[in-house]
Structure 1
Amino acid sequence: MTEQQTPLRIVGISGSLRKGSLNTAALRAARDLAPPGVTIEIFDIADIPLYNDDVRTGNGYPEPVQALRDALKAADGILFSTPEYNYSVPGVLKNAIDWASRPPEQPFDAKPIAMMGASPGVLGTVRAQTHLRQFFTYLNGFVLNRPEVMIGQANSKFDPEGRLTDQGTIDFLKTFLASFADHIRYHQRAKSRH
């Protein structure tokens, strides 16, 4: 089996809890457009409680948090799809990252990470993604720098059922996902040499 045939498992996380979320729709599109051998499993963060370290130190991780940590640890890479709220990352996404990043063995360390965002606005979540990148500087996640996926005016690029219909965006997502797979394999090779 060649390196390009080695299966890759990516965990996808949407930063929105909305049923009709454009970012969850973008994540589903990415799952459906993933290159051969790449699987994207979407993890729903809706059941993650508000972060309170007294809970962790007193009783351990709540079950949904432990499930998230286990999924992230087992993944070859992590794909975030985030909306932008008030020029930044939504609280629910920050909350999930705060829970998952607590010791021991925080699962973002040396993990390949990619991000994208969809917005009805023209900037397509550029500010939120900038803040999200900052988190992983501290957590030592290996963020894919390019290509950047900022789906602006996204409400015109998905149909009422949440299916991506814009061919230019479809083609760009395919390029992005192939780049992310290469990014993951690059870091896997680097890790195996050490």
Structure 2
Amino acid sequence: MSTPKLLGISGSLRADATNTRLLREAARLFGDAEYEEADIRFPLYDADEEAEHGVPEMVAKVARQIDAADAVIISTPEYNKGPSGVIKNALDWISRAEVKPWNGKPVAVMSATSGRAGGERAQMILRGFMVPFRPRILQGPEIHLAGARDQFDETDRLTGEMYVKELTELMKSLRAMI
């Protein structure tokens, strides 16, 4: 098999986002792969704007990236007991693109938050958001990185043995699903 293509989508836009760091650690633990991260700094979805100007090129690009990837990893923060508006907006826009990239796509979902539940509710809701697109979402192990700011060392590697073990297992399962 050729080198798999892995796409990471972070639901956080912050420069030092723990969700982006978690994606990069997941990609490292996945092993040999061509890894890239999607830029989902899309405008807010507006049907009038779409009708007048069409789907923005930046949205079409991410849809093509998803389509070209062998697997996708999504990591979301939890804001007010749900996933970020950024990830929901991205999913809404991507659903409007000409390319319908999600159907049958292997997807691993995870979350990283400062709270003690690690984004469990956000991840559950995000999984529900994905249902209409019919990807193949891995069911576990679930990665809910609690107290995320304190879970990485100075080289952005996860430090918790349990998290490393479970993330390694999730990435092994994702690789097997390709």
Q: Tell me if both proteins adopt one fold, taking TM over 0.5 as the criterion.
A: yes
More displaced, 158-167 or 89-98? Answer: 158-167
Q: What RMSD in Å do the two structures reach over aligned CA positions?
A: 1.8
Of residues 29, 34, 44 in structure 2, which corresponds to 1:39?
Answer: 34
Identity of aligned residues (%): 38
More displaced, 164-173 or 123-132? Answer: 164-173
Of residues 12, 15, 21 in structure 2, which corresponds to 1:16?
Answer: 12
Instruction: Confirm whether residue 167 of structure 1 aligns to residue 161 of structure 2.
Output: yes
Secondary structure of 1:28's partner?
helix
Q: What amino acid is aligned across from residue 34 of structure 1 in structure 2? A: F
Cα distance in structure 2, aligned partners of 1:163 and 1:133: 26
Q: What amino acid is aligned across from residue 108 of structure 2 in structure 1? A: A
| Deviations, residues 39-85 of structure 1 (Å, cap 9, x unaligned) | 33111212x11111223232222121111111111111211010011
TM-score for the superposition, normalised by structure 1? 0.84
Please list every run of 5 or more consecutive structure 2 residues that lacks an aligned counterpart in the other structure: none
Secondary structure of 2:102's partner?
coil
Secondary structure of 2:83's partner?
coil
Cα distance in structure 1, aligned partners of 2:15 and 2:97: 32
Please list every run of 5 or more consecutive structure 1 residues that lacks an aligned counterpart in the other structure: 185-194
Cα distance in structure 2, aligned partners of 1:59 and 1:18: 28
Match of 2:130 in 1: 136
TM-score for the superposition, normalised by structure 2? 0.90
Cα distance in structure 2, aligned partners of 1:143 and 1:118: 18
Q: What amino acid is aligned across from residue 179 of structure 1 in structure 2? A: S
More displaced, 59-68 or 166-175? Answer: 166-175
CA contact (8 A) 2:11 2:77 kept: yes
Of residues 152, 159, 162 in structure 1, which corresponds to 2:146?
Answer: 152
Cα distance in structure 1, aligned partners of 2:19 and 2:97: 29
Q: What amino acid is aligned across from residue 32 of structure 1 in structure 2? A: R
| Deviations, residues 70-120 of structure 1 (Å, cap 9, x unaligned) | 111111121101001111110011001100012544221222211011122
Secondary structure of 2:79's partner?
coil
Q: What amino acid is aligned across from residue 154 of structure 1 in structure 2? A: A
Cα distance in structure 2, aligned partners of 1:160 and 1:67: 33
- Report how many aligned residue pairs link the two structures: 178
